[in-house]
Structure 1
Amino acid sequence: MMFRSINFTASVGRQREPFLALKERRKREQRRVSSLKAVSAAQITFVDPDGKEISTSSSSGILRNLALENNVEIYEGFNKLLNCGGNGQCGTCGMIITTDGKDVLSAPTEVERKKLGEAKLNKGYRLSCQTEILSESEAENAINITCKTKPPKK
């Protein structure tokens, strides 16, 4: 009897590819950021659908992690338990982001472009797990970022 070997690594590799690419990009950003001398913190305000605001400041980090650290509800219903854990695969951590300094946030990733589409990206929608605050800004004035959690599905 002859057995054929099945190559499982090919399918697993394709699924992990966006995650690994994001991980490598973050490592490069951290190396570049660590060489900077002056870093200004951004003021982040999370606004839930009821209008409740939670503010924090950070000079770097992923918006999803900052929201969870500050007990901000970014998931609804079953998505509180059934989410991808920040890998950009489920699309349930969407936010509408407004800021007065566009260079402070990372550019939309390929994962975001596929999940949200260009129309939503142009309206300010971002996946919080894919959006990173870059500490390369050396602005003298505070940079304000407003994140509306749980935006409408349309």
Structure 2
Amino acid sequence: MPKINFINSNKQIEVPEDASILRMSLRYDGELPNRCGGGICGSCVFKAEEGAEFLDNVKVQERRKLGEEWLNKGYRLGCQTFVTDGDISISWDDEVTEVVKKRKPDKLQKEVSTIK
């Protein structure tokens, strides 16, 4: 079973595959900040310090709230992110959290079909 290392709270927990980062933090007192649980507020933003390859694909809500800039820096939303089949280490920063919380969601470009 994979492990999540919550660097800020100095806790490491073993979790089932495909477990939600936020749910596991809430269940085992990982202390990841949170508020809405739906990818709207940005409170649960974290940085994958190790094991990012063991996280599932970025969700639409993460892409909207974080934008490519934050995603490219390794940030994800705990409420939208799941551990796949390996160990990860995550951290969070109050200053980053405040910036993300204030960020307005990006409008996603709709794909234009040229098929007639």
Moved beyond 3 Å, runs of 4+: none
Q: Does 1:106 align with 2:49?
A: no
Which has more radius of gyration? 1
Aligned Cα root-mean-square deviation (Å): 1.9
Where is the helix percentage greater, Structure 1 or Structure 2?
1
Query: Structure 1, unaligned stretches of length 5 or more?
Result: 1-40, 138-142
Match of 2:3 in 1: 43
How many Å separate the matches in 1 of 2:76 and 2:23? 14
Deviations 1:12-60 (A, max 9, x none): xxxxxxxxxxxxxxxxxxxxxxxxxxxxx11210011xxx410011132
Give me the identity figure in percent: 29
Normalized against structure 2, the TM-score is what? 0.72
Match of 1:88 in 2: 39
Query: Structure 2, unaligned stretches of length 5 or more?
Result: 100-116
Q: Compared with structure 1, are the counterparts of its residues 151 and 118 closer, same or farther at alpha carbon in structure 2 (3 Å cutoff)?
A: farther
Count of residue pairs brought into register by the alignment: 96
Q: Compared with structure 1, are the counterparts of its residues 150 and 70 closer, same or farther at alpha carbon in structure 2 (3 Å cutoff)?
A: farther
Conserved 8 A contact 2:51-2:89: no
Normalized against structure 1, the TM-score is what? 0.56
